[in-house]
Amino acid sequence: MNNAQIVELGKKYVMNTYGRLPISLVKGQGARVWDADGREYLDFLAGLAVNSLGHCHPKVVDALTQQAATLLHVSNLYWIEPQVKLAQALVENSFADKVFFCNSGAEANEGAIKLARKYAKKTWGPDKYEIITMEKSFHGRTLATVTATAQPKYQKDYEPLPQGFRYAPFGDLKALEKAITANTCAIMVEPVQGEGGVNLADPAYWQGLAKLAETNNLLLIFDEVQCGLGRTGKLFAHEHYGVTPHIMTLAKALAGGAPMGALLATDDVAQAFQPGDHASTFGGNPLVAAAGVAVMDVLLKDGLMDNCREVGAYFMGHLRRLQEKYPLIQGVRGLGLMVACELDRPGADIVAECLKKGLIINCTAVKVLRFLPPLTITKADVDEAVAVLEEVLAGVAAADSAATGGQGQ
C-alpha cells in the first residue's frame, strides 16, 4: 500500500488519538527512514528518543532475531535469563540495586508512585502519601501519571483525578520547599523536561533538591524515561548534576524500539515491594529483554556518549547561528542530543515544511522545536538537517517580511 491508502485505512479503523502527519514510515536504517511511497527522510526524532542507536541497529536486530527463534515469552513466574542479564547491566552501571521491568514509561512511573507510597507508609506511617511533581512535567498517560503530569491540558475531562499530588515550578527551590507538607513522601522530577519543552534547571537547583529531600525524609524519584540512557551525553542525565535518586524510571531507548520500561531503586526502598505487590505480564519478557541487553552493550562499549556530546555541541552551535540570523528563534537549549529551539510562534507549520523537504523533527509545548536524533548521528547529518531547517526558516522570514511590507520583524 502507498501513503494515501494506509492513511485512509487508518482513519477508518484506528482511534483518533494522534495528530498524525500524512505519511506512513515503512523502513528504517541508521538515521534514515522511508515512507510507503518510497521517499527518504533524515530522522531527527528517532521515534521520540526510542531509536537512540538508529533504526535497525545490527546488534539489536540480531538479538531480537535469535531470541524470537528461541523463546518469545514466558511469564514472570519463572526466572528469565535475558531479563536477569539486563538487570545486572543496569545495576552495575547506576546507583540502583534492584530493577522491576514493565512495558512503557507510564508504567514505570506508575510503579515508582506505588513503590514510593508503599515504602513511605511502611517506614514513616500511613499519612505519608503525597508526591510533589513539577509544572511543565510529563510522566505518562495513565490516570495516576497524567495527574503527576502538572499540565492541565493533559488532565482535561479525566476528572476526578487521583489524590495525593502537589505541584511546584521547575527550578524553583523556594516554591518546592513551600509545597512540602506533613503528608509528603517523595519528589518526582525529570532531570531534563522533555515534553515540556526540553527545559533545564540550574545545577545549584539539583544540589538544593537533594538537600531538601534529605532534610525532610523524602524519596527522590528521577524520571529519565526520555532523557536517560545516553541521550544527554551521560548514561543517566542526573549524573551531570552530581545527585543520586532513590528511585529512577527508564523506557524509550531501553530496548532499541521494542516496548520496555524499567523501575530502578536502592535496596532499602526496593524491599518495600514483596511478591504480589506489583506485577506486569509482559514486563521484561525474553524478547524485549534480549534487545535491552544488546542496547546496553552498544551504549557502554561503542563510544556513543562521546559522539552525543561532541555532535550535540556542534548541532547547538549551528542552531545558535540560525538564531542570530532569524529573530523568530527566541532561544536554543539542550544537553547532548536532547535539543530545542524555542520560537516566537507555534511550530507545527515549520515541522510540516521540514517533513516536505525530507527532515523529521517535532514540536512540543506549542512553540518549541524538539530534536532527538539517534546517538549515532554524524556532523554531516547535522549539516544536512540544518540546511533544511534554514531553508524553511528563510521561507517563514520572507513571508513575515512580505506581510509587513518589507519592514521585517
pLDDT tens, position by position, 190-246:
999 999 999 999 999 999 999 999 999 999 999 999 999 999 999 999 999 999 999
Q: Which residue ranges in the chain fall short of pLDDT 50?
A: 409
Q: Is 106 annotated as a binding residue?
A: yes
Phi, psi of 317 (to 5 degrees): -60, -45
Domain 3-56+303-403, classified CATH 3.90.1150.10, yes or no: yes
Q: Is 135 annotated as a binding residue?
A: no
Q: Is 110 annotated as a binding residue?
A: no
**CA-based torsion, 47, 52, 58, 62: positive or negative:** negative
* Structural domain 58-301, CATH architecture: 3-Layer(aba) Sandwich (3.40)
- CA-only gyration radius of the chain, Å: 22
**What pLDDT is stored for residue 404 in this prediction?**
83
Per-residue DSSP letter, 136: T
Task: Confirm whether 3-56+303-403 and 58-301 share one CATH topology.
Answer: no
* Residue bearing cell 524510571: 249
Q: Is 95 annotated as a binding residue?
A: no
Q: Is 29 annotated as a binding residue?
A: no
- Among 35, 43, 223, 381, the active-site one is 223
Per the annotation, the verdict on 223 as an active-site residue is: yes
What does the block give as the cell for 351? 515541522
Can you give the pTM of this predicted structure? Answer: 0.97
What does the block give as the cell for 72? 518469545
User: 369 exposed, middle or buried (CB, 10 Å; 0-12, 13-18, 19+)?
Assistant: buried
**What pLDDT is stored for residue 409 in this prediction?**
46
Coil, helix or strand for 276? coil
Q: Is 224 annotated as a binding residue?
A: yes
Q: Is 283 annotated as a binding residue?
A: no
- Among 128, 234, 252, 367, the active-site one is 252
Comparing CA positions, the residue from 284, 382, 272 lying closest to residue 86 is 284
Per the annotation, the verdict on 138 as an active-site residue is: yes
**What pLDDT is stored for residue 406 in this prediction?**
66
- Percent of the chain topping pLDDT 70: 99
List helix spans (H) across 202-347: 203-215, 267-270, 286-301, 304-325
Coil, helix or strand for 274? coil
Find the largest Cα–Cα distance for the chain. Answer: 72
Task: Please give the Cα distance from 90 to 52 (Å, whole number).
Answer: 17
Task: Please give the Cα distance from 236 to 43 (Å, whole number).
Answer: 23
Q: Is 138 annotated as a binding residue?
A: yes
- Among 138, 170, 222, 236, the active-site one is 138
Contact 267, 374 (CB under 8 A): no
Residue-range domain boundaries for the chain: 3-56+303-403, 58-301
